[in-house]
Amino acid sequence: MPGLSSRSAIIFVIVCVAAIAAVSGLPLLEHASTPAPAAEPARPPQPPPDPLALVRWSVDDLRQLREAVANAANEGLDSNDYDPDALDQLIRDKNTGPAADAIADRSALALAHDFALGRVTRRARFGWHIEQAPMPDALLHADLARAVRAQSVRAYLESLLPRDPRYRALHSALADTPADEADRRMALRASMERWRWMPRALGDDYVFVNIPAQQLALWQGGSESTRHNVVVGKPSTPTPMLSAAISSIDVNPWWTLPRSVLAEGKVRPGPGARARGYVFLKRGDRTVIRQRPGPNNALGRLKLDMPNPYAIYLHDTPAKWAFAKSDRALSHGCIRVQDINELARAIAPEQGDRIDAALAATRNRRITPVRAIPVYIAYFTAAADPDGRVRIYPDLYKQDSRIVAALDS
């Protein structure tokens, strides 16, 4: 500025900057050597609030819950597992508040879990390996909270049950079965529990094998289109219950003998084995036995491959006589299907010509369907026919009494 020395000009600039900072709230520039103030420690993340802690059960909500608990008996469950006496007391006393909420929460969540996922745990002990869509406890909590707020507790709980008509047929059959028909009621209750283990959506097109019925059904467009007799695993080598998808159609297949067959020691090197098409291969310290395609091949002319951890698949057989037997629990675990050629054409109609051409030849040929077809191999000793009539089938693997004992424990 005119008339100011250099030193005075510098002092003037500093004063102006300080004044501007004071007005605007900006900090003054600090010397580079001045340490920055220590940052505040980060706060630990706070857990989200429990959704049920935000709601309170009214007397009307409690009544709806009590009705759902009473109806659990109609689903083959024991109503006493869900604190009916405690709920009755709360309703009589018109008792609401934190203590009542805790009782109602415990009862409702237990019932929601058992309706949605089934009551019995550790299902692998029954050979059951069909996976359900996960339903975490937090999701059940949140959905129940919404139902309490909407005063629709009973409707919500009942919505968790299977909606498949085959389950509803068992439900009706249980209601019509007198208490003195203990064996029938046991089959119905065990099979209803197994339906609660099943995925809620099976799809429009799928293959459904019921081991006790020893039958396979092809479902297309949401309804059963064909049914085939099958041979299933015998009790000493039971067929596991699993879900997979048919990924290929193997015409004139090779057969690699599974361990259960090798353990029997019936196939030994020699002229007889060679005449039946067996090939013996050394792989490390073990011997692998395979059977060539041909009329004697144990898989017949066709195999529907469905990769799974248990090496189970659907296949033909040269032993057609087995399909006429009433007891067809004869295999080492895999499923032999009567008229499997027709099944293959039905699940892959776009490949019908290729399947026919491959069957007219003798060499091995693998055909891939346009889309994978889901397969469910399940175990229902009580099952509904297409007309809705419920039949009771032999408990081939002696499971029903153990499942019902687990339901009632």
What pLDDT shows up at residue 274? 87
Distance CA 400, CA 381 (A): 8
3-class secondary-structure state, position 10: helix
What pLDDT shows up at residue 43? 56
Strands 223-233, 329-331: pairing is: parallel
In this structure, the dihedral spanned by the alpha carbons of residues 175, 214, 334 and 315, taken in order and rounded to 10 degrees, is: -130
CB 301 within 8 A of CB 337: no
3-class secondary-structure state, position 107: helix
What pLDDT shows up at residue 137? 85
Q: What is the mean pLDDT of residues 150-156?
A: 96
In the predicted structure, residue 408 carries a pLDDT above the cut 80: yes
- The model's pLDDT over 210-243, given as tens digits with 9 standing for 90+, comes to 999 999 999 999 999 999 999 999 999 999 999 9
Alpha helices in 319-377 (DSSP H): 340-347, 352-360
Distances (CA, A) of 170 to 73, 156, 158: 13, 21, 16
Beta bridge partners of 331: 233
In terms of phi and psi (left: phi > 0; alpha: psi -120 to 50; beta: otherwise), the region of 303 is beta
Distance CA 271, CA 192 (A): 52
Query: Domains of the chain (ranges plus CATH)?
Result: 51-182 (no CATH), 203-254+293-378 (2.40.440.10)
3-class secondary-structure state, position 229: strand
**3-state DSSP helix/strand/coil percent for the chain, to nearest 5?**
40, 20, 40
Q: What is the mean pLDDT of residues 146-172?
A: 96
Banded pLDDT at 258 (limits 50, 70, 90): confident
- The model's pLDDT over 26-64, given as tens digits with 9 standing for 90+, comes to 444 344 344 444 444 555 555 555 555 556 899 999 999
In the predicted structure, residue 337 carries a pLDDT above the cut 60: yes
CB 336 within 8 A of CB 322: yes
Alpha helices in 118-181 (DSSP H): 137-149, 153-159, 165-176
Q: Establish how many alpha carbons lie within 13 A of residue 108's alpha carbon, considering only the half-sphere containing its beta carbon.
A: 30
- The model's pLDDT over 113-140, given as tens digits with 9 standing for 90+, comes to 999 999 999 999 999 999 998 888 889 9
Q: Which residues, other chains included, contact 88 with Cβ-Cβ below 8 Å and sequence gap of 6+? A: 66
Q: What is the mean pLDDT of the chain?
A: 88
CB 148 within 8 A of CB 64: no
Q: What is the mean pLDDT of residues 356-372?
A: 94
Residue whose pair of structure tokens reads 């009494």 in the numeric block = 401
H-run or E-run covering 105: helix 98-117
3-class secondary-structure state, position 289: strand
% residues pLDDT > 90 (the chain):
73
What pLDDT shows up at residue 268? 85
Strands 286-291, 278-283: pairing is: antiparallel
Distance CA 94, CA 402 (A): 40
CB 231 within 8 A of CB 312: no
Distance CA 109, CA 248 (A): 43
Distance CA 216, CA 338 (A): 9
- The model's pLDDT over 56-104, given as tens digits with 9 standing for 90+, comes to 899 999 999 999 999 999 999 999 999 999 999 999 999 888 999 999 9
Backbone angles phi, psi at 235, to 5 degrees: -55, -30
In the predicted structure, residue 4 carries a pLDDT above the cut 70: no
Kindly tell me the burial class for residue 359, based on how many C-beta atoms sit within 10 Å of its own C-beta (0-12, 13-18, 19 or more).
Answer: middle
Distance CA 188, CA 186 (A): 5
- The model's pLDDT over 8-26, given as tens digits with 9 standing for 90+, comes to 444 444 444 444 444 444 4
What is the CB neighbour count within 10 angstroms for residue 246? 24
